[in-house]
Amino acid sequence: MTLLKTLAAGFVATTLMAGVVPANAHDDLKIVASFSILGDMVEQVVGDHAKVTTIVGPDADAHVYQPSVADARAVAESDVIFVNGLGFETWSETLISESGTEATVHVATEGVTPVMVDGETDPHAWNSLSNGVIYVRNIADALGKAMPDHADDFNANAEAYIAKLEALDKETRTRLATLPEDRRTVVTAHDAFGYLADAYGLTFLAPVGIDTEAEPSARDLAVLITQLKEQGAAALFVENITSPALVQQISDETGIEIGGRLFSDALSERGGPATSYLAMFEHNLGTLIEALGKKNNS
């Protein structure tokens, strides 16, 4: 029996002994989102009509996440589940299937045009604000079907939210358009910004691919360092979900400054600079502009 089956079986036995009724017997809709960025989007649309539980929380790496008993319980009790899709949550299908949940499962990236990185689908689609609009419309549509009496509220919340996303998208394009060509190449810890690169005319390089669980080979790292020494880059950035050690090593060997910290796959903890999707994007934009706008000193 797998760990998730053990967790699910233990939870079912406990709830039966306790006389707990199924989640769909309650009036309140129970919603689960797979990770913090998606959870915030769902909260913006659903408003006060339902509670949203997030599996992978702030500053946590969904690539390497290991579901817990509490996660199995939340999924088993849920009515609606939102996942990113595109291969991002490698653990979600097993967690959902083995929890015994009767919830409807919705893929937030439905309709997104995938970006390919080294022959693999990049799952980090939220790093383009135009894709963020697709997420929000998918969320509103799913919630409207789950709670039709509140569909008008969901659509109104979604449209107000989309207006903010579109305004920030316009600002992002305007501000990044001022950067010269030689200040548009940056390095991050892993390939999480392919959609941002495509949408806003930047080049992102990384020693690790789209999955943080991978380790760069000595040869690949040496090739990247040689490339940076020869061609340069505007700045290096650490990420909130990964160790800064690898980026620091690249900085030490190339002389390229670390320009700050970007939030790639998760929001920040409360009190941090990226506690919502909008705040995350605003922080990342400001960090990029500050570092890339400096005189090249590499």
Q: Cβ-count burial of 260 within 10 angstroms (0-12 exposed, 13-18 middle, 19+ buried)? A: middle
**Do 35 and 122 fall within a single domain?**
yes
Higher pLDDT among residues 217 and 189, named by residue: 189
Residue in the structure block whose two tokens are 């439905």: 110
pLDDT at 14 over 70: no
Which segments of 3-62 does DSSP mark as H helices, in order?
A: 3-18, 36-46
What does the alpha-carbon distance between residue 244 and residue 56 come to, in Å, rounded to a whole number? 21
Domain limit, last residue, from 139, 168, 197: 168
Between the CA of residue 231 and those of 59, 256, 278, what are the distances in Å? 32, 11, 33
CA distances from 140 to 105, 150, 151, 208 (A): 14, 10, 8, 34
Q: Which of 104, 138, 168 is the last residue of a domain?
A: 168
CATH number at residue 216: 3.40.50.1980
Residue 295's pLDDT is 58
pTM: 0.89
183 & 196 share domain: yes
Give per-residue pLDDT as tens, 56-92: 999 999 999 999 999 999 999 999 999 999 999 999 9
- The reply to whether 179 and 160 lie within a common domain is no
**17 in the same domain as 99:** yes
Neighbours of 222 (CB within 10 A): 12
Give pLDDT tens digits for 150-178: 999 999 999 999 999 999 999 999 999 99
Query: Is residue 204 predicted with pLDDT exceeding 80?
Result: yes
DSSP string, 115-136: EEETTEEE--GGGSHHHHHHHH
The answer to the question of residue 298 being in a domain is: no
Please choose, from the candidates 145, 143, 171, the residue with its C-alpha nearest in 3D space to the C-alpha of residue 157.
143
3-class DSSP assignment, residue 43: helix
Number of domains in the chain: 2
Distance CA 74, CA 289 (A): 40
290 DSSP 8-state letter: H
Task: Return d(Cα 100, Cα 97) in angstroms, integer.
Answer: 6
Q: How far apart are CA 259 and CA 189, in angstroms?
A: 13
Confidence band (pLDDT; 50, 70, 90) for 294?
A: confident
Within this chain, do residues 270 and 196 fall inside the same structural domain, yes or no? yes
Do 104 and 193 share a structural domain?
no
> Is 178 found in the same domain as 146?
no
Structure confidence at residue 15 (pLDDT): 39
Residues 6+ apart with CB under 8 A from 207: 187, 189, 190, 216, 220, 221, 224, 246, 250
Q: Is residue 143 part of a domain?
A: yes
Domain end among 140, 168, 196: 168
